[in-house]
Structure 1
Amino acid sequence: MKPQPLSPAPRDGINQTRAFRVLASVEDLLIAVLVFAIFCVVLAGILSRFVFHVSLSWNIEISVTLMIWMTFIGIAVGVRDKVHVAFELFEDKLSGRWLTCASLVQMLLMGFLLVALAWGGWQFTELGFSQLTPSGIPQWISFAAIPAGSALGLLHLAAHAWDVAAHVDLDSGAHRGHGHTETRTQ
């Protein structure tokens, strides 16, 4: 049996700090609350129409707004949990510095996308400050999900980039590259 080379003890990444664990819990709780709220709003619309024979004018707008928020918070959670789209074509053939470089390039490209989303979302939010939906809900509330979710995604992406650049847990087999989260079996 070949002896295993000694490797430095794996360091905890920035994502394991208390602040990021609390943020992850808040994000998960927020998504759960949004899903439950969508369920309640849609159920209220169904009950009002088929039981009370009254159509609600606001339930579709509210459920769509909640769905938008859930989607953009979900994007941030996807970045946090590394379950987003990644270029894995060459990652299995890379190791060491090349794998680190490829991961950082992927994160840079994703960062550009998230910055563009945040910028465009902020512009939509500014337009929505003076607009109301037909039910009287300020339009900026829906649009604010875009820069908020993008900013959270950028925060998680920056934390992953920091970990990759600091070589945190790169050689432990916990992941290969940025988007691949499977563990290796020995």
Structure 2
Amino acid sequence: MKTIKRAALWVDSFFEMFSLTALLAMILIVTTQVMTRKLFHFVLFWSEEVTLLLLVWFSFLGIAFGFREHLHLAIDTLTSKFPSSWNRVLDKLIYASIFAFGIYLIVSGTEFTILMNESTLAATKLPNSVMYAVMPITGVLVCVYSLLQFIGIDTRRHRGNEEGDA
């Protein structure tokens, strides 16, 4: 069990570090692109395409990490008036819905990734599927996080100013 937990934490950390690296790379590429365009009237032919790829991966992985950290939107104006037992049931329904969304990402993302493997990106000549491969990965992460949350395991790794903290 400890080995599985360690492996899961390693995978989670890998994708989180990849996301942070992608953000840094996007900042550097766009800054370089703007400077070379303005100063030298030259644009790197691959910069926009690579930035778009990194943005897609960063965004999709951000969806999964948002679910992990409980950062998704919740409007509790009505539900705060319900008894806590009702809210626990609603939380279970929410986790089940999130799990279903993860399944959708896995199935549709896999199908779309396979479909897009036939074409290539214009500048980098990478298979177009590189852009869409993040969908099933995000789906797996979302399913794991929602399943853990459903059974009562707190998946948050980063604690901030949460509601109720003073």
TM-score per shorter chain, which class? 0.7 to 0.9
The 3 A distance-change label for structure 1 pair 21 and 133 is closer
The residue aligned with 2:127 is 138
Equivalent residues, number: 154
How far 1:21 sits from its partner (Å)?
A: 5.0
RMSD of aligned C-alpha atoms?
2.4
Amino acid of the structure 2 residue aligned with 1:183: G
Unaligned stretches of 5+ in structure 1?
Answer: 1-16, 169-180
Alignment partner of 1:128 out of 103, 116, 133: 116
CA distance in 2, matches of 1:87, 1:119: 29
Counterpart of 2:151 in 1: which secondary structure? Answer: helix
Q: Give the structure with the larger helix fraction.
A: 2
Matched, 1:182 2:163: yes
Counterpart of 1:118 in 2: which secondary structure? Answer: helix
Q: Is the 8 A contact 1:118 1:147 kept in 2?
A: yes
How far 1:97 sits from its partner (Å)?
A: 3.2
Matched, 1:80 2:68: yes
The residue aligned with 2:55 is 67
User: With structure 1 as the length reference, what TM-score do the two structures score?
Assistant: 0.72
4+ residue runs of structure 1 moved beyond 4 angstroms? 17-24
The residue aligned with 1:35 is 23
- Which one has the largest radius of gyration? 1
Work out the percentage of aligned pairs sharing the same amino acid: 21
CA distance in 2, matches of 1:100, 1:142: 37
Unaligned stretches of 5+ in structure 2?
Answer: 155-161
Amino acid of the structure 1 residue aligned with 2:163: E
How far 1:70 sits from its partner (Å)?
A: 0.4
Per mean C-alpha deviation after superposition, the further-off stretch among 138-147 and 90-99 is 90-99
User: With structure 2 as the length reference, what TM-score do the two structures score?
Assistant: 0.79
